[in-house]
Amino acid sequence: MGNCWKNFKTTLVTEYVLNPAQPEPFGKYPFITQPVWDEFHAAKSTKESQEKSQTYRDLQARNLHPHRLGTGGYAGKQVEWDKEDEAAVESNTPQVLADIPVQRARNWARARVKKNSDGTLSFPNPEDQAMYQKIYKKHKLSKAQKATCIKTQLREELKEELREELTAELLGMEARMEARIRDRSTDATPGPVVQVSPTQRRRNSCASTEAPAEQPEGPAAVNHITEPTSCTLVVRVTPGFAIPAAEGQAFKPTQETRVHGAQLQAGNAKVQVDLVKPDWVGYTIPHPPNDEILTLGAARGTFIQWPKHSIEINITPRPAPSSRPPLTRPHQTVVSLPPAVEQRDEDLQLQYDTDFGDDGMEVDSRPHLPPPAKRSKRAKSSPPKLDTRRKAAGTGRGKIKVPLAPKKLDLGKAPVAPPKPPAKFTLGMPLVGDDALFKMGPACKELHGYYMEKSNARRKNRETSMLGQHEGQLFLGPTAFIAVDFKDLWDLYRVRAIDTNLLKCYFLLTWKHVHCKAPHVALLDPAVVNETTLKNDRANMVAYIKDCLFARQDKDFIMCAYNQQRHWILLVITPKWSLVHYLNSNIKPEIYDWSAIESALNEAWDQYVARDGKHKDRHPKLGHKKDFPIRQQVGDQCGFHVYHNMRSFAEKVTLLDPEEFISRIPEINFEIIREEIAQFILDDILSPKGMFRVKS
């Protein structure tokens, strides 16, 4: 609007004020009245106005190359130019002014060129045409010069890659050399014994305040790797002395790296634990990802954070070409040996990411050689070996007839038994047996197929978890990621104790149901209200509960799952009754003490009541009912009981009356719960149209 008003006044000054042939604009612009025109003509006829106009005309005359971009400028045209270039690439047509290799010079010419109706390009200004010719001649390169530029660029990239590989290899060699020197010096001159056994210094909680050993100075070797690399996790006692505790894979730390949905801590890197030394199974992880993974033994097969300077990169030497054994061809005359049965890929034993053999070398790094053929000794009772070699053809009496070798029957390949599921979780192996999987629902079967495909892919494409994401408005918290490890599927398929992220999946599934069919129920985020957050960040957890109570005070019930000592319960807060019920499937007061979460709820409730939150009349304090009678668990399926009580509560229960609660909640069915979770993971996390799929 401002530009139109400015252009209109410029037109009036140029065509009427400064043009004596047309003194008045009333014929073309009848809406202009005589008093308005007299005032405008007097203002533009003054000496100051004429000097100002002349100054701007002189300034405009100095612009020899006016652009044709409009009011948007280069920024407004860049999006349109990018679309034109993409369309030209898709249609396999030359791009506009593609003969200018420098982007800035190309944009300058593109801002002044005119596209004619027939598709040709032209410069209306001769000065622009002359400048374009100069730019074209300056940046025009011959084929030899282009090839030289490409070779120089490739040479620099190769130098950079080699420099990074050599740096990582040298750092690894230096670390191994220092370890050997320490070992030899320790054997030669025994010193004082350092008590660092993990069984003696095991901690009970991830919130322990023991000070870690001082880390050595200088760059860490893990910063120089470019792909997942085999490594050794060490426990550093002093800056110059460390003890190996586990083996695994290290990943280069970046700003985008996430471990179970959380960002890397300063001075740490993402590692995958594959093998843990027997003496270090109970060692407490410095930064546990959740309440389930607190020790190195529990972290086997998943990702954790580990200090950079406590990660030693293992450089596996590759065999030289000359050291490979020559390929041997079977002798053509040996026919008494049975034909070797071809070994299929699915018959091979699947190895974990970094599995180490007896010789200390990674299994994936060994040269893949064919197994040696078995040689059997012919018994005396065996028939004579037939010679199938052709005799020299001859004529006469001396011609000998050679019996032909009998044809071998093609009996096919030997039947291979399906792999049996191991006693504990092993990546790439089936979660359950074929008979058990056959009895499961279609969602469980499809999810098991996805797990087998992704866990048995090549190392670069291999996956160990499934990642989802949900917005913060669901639970009035921050936007968070959901990392369901394949190890969690092992517990799900075998109906065992479950992880926080797997419980989060069922909470999101319940949220979808509550959002549509049970508006009187609200949910709290189990990833925020848990034992770890209560110990490490109590203030933020209390503030979160207080804010949720105030925002959801119109709801009848507010539910949250809480985990303590690896046991799940369901907390049901009723604001209008000033009461919270503990739905515990294993009521044992001598084992479980809920005083910590009770104190946090009381603190949040007092702040909520201070803000005039809804509560029962003359009952400002929050009551706690910990012995509410519900069905008790038999094994370690506390998480499944939380699923069942939460879903049944949202669907059928209207009052927290024990008789009504017990009468309305049906018998628990583990198969239905497992099928619902598997279907949720397929539809909402793995599907491209899923509600909780990670946004790219």
Confidence of residue 322 (pLDDT cuts 50, 70, 90): very low
pLDDT of residue 306: 92
Q: Which of 141-155, 196-210, 430-444, 617-631 has the highest mean pLDDT?
A: 430-444
Instruction: Give buried/exposed letters for 601-613 (b at 16+ CB in 10 A, else e).
Output: bbbbbebbbeeeb
Q: Where are the beta strands (DSSP E) in 239-328?
A: 241-250, 258-259, 262-263, 268-276, 303-307, 311-313
Task: Find the mean pLDDT for residues 461-473.
Answer: 83
Tens digit of pLDDT for each residue in 252-307?
998 888 888 888 888 899 999 998 998 888 888 888 888 788 889 889 888 999 99
Inter-residue contact 237 to 213 (CB < 8 Å): yes
pLDDT of residue 251: 92
Weakest-pLDDT range from 50-54, 504-508, 659-663:
659-663
Which residues are CB-neighbours of 262 under 8 A, at least 6 positions away? 289, 481
Which residues are CB-neighbours of 124 under 8 A, at least 6 positions away? 114
Picking from 227, 322, 294, 307, the residue whose alpha carbon sits closest to that of residue 536 is: 294
pLDDT of residue 201: 41
Picking from 460, 483, 475, 477, the residue whose alpha carbon sits closest to that of residue 694 is: 483
CA distances from 57 to 3, 61, 62, 63, 288 (A): 18, 6, 9, 10, 71
pLDDT at 568 over 50: yes
Q: What's the rounded Cα separation, in Å, for the pair 251 and 110?
A: 44
pLDDT at 349 over 50: no
Q: What's the rounded Cα separation, in Å, for the pair 498 and 313?
A: 33
Cα 73 from chain centre = 39
- Between residues 659 and 473, the one the model is more confident about: 473
Fold of 434-686: Adenoviral Proteinase; Chain (3.40.395)
The percent of the chain in helix, strand and coil, each rounded to the nearest 5, is 40, 15, 50
Tens digit of pLDDT for each residue in 355-372?
444 444 444 444 444 445
This prediction's pTM: 0.42
Task: Find the mean pLDDT for residues 345-360.
Answer: 39
Q: Mean pLDDT in the chain?
A: 75
Q: What percentage of the chain carries pLDDT values higher than 90?
A: 7
pLDDT of residue 655: 60
Q: What's the rounded Cα separation, in Å, for the pair 428 and 352?
A: 8
Confidence of residue 388 (pLDDT cuts 50, 70, 90): very low
Tens digit of pLDDT for each residue in 143-176?
566 677 778 878 888 888 888 888 877 787 877 7
Confidence of residue 442 (pLDDT cuts 50, 70, 90): very high
Confidence of residue 106 (pLDDT cuts 50, 70, 90): confident
Q: What percentage of the chain carries pLDDT values higher than 70?
A: 76
CA distances from 570 to 218, 581, 664 (A): 48, 8, 17
Which residue ranges make up each domain of the chain?
A: 2-61, 73-139, 153-186+216-315+353-358, 434-686
Confidence of residue 590 (pLDDT cuts 50, 70, 90): low
Task: Find the mean pLDDT for residues 98-124.
Answer: 80
Q: What's the rounded Cα separation, in Å, for the pair 327 and 661?
A: 74
The number of residues in the chain equals: 696
Picking from 493, 504, 557, 569, the residue whose alpha carbon sits closest to that of residue 531 is: 569
pLDDT at 181 over 80: no
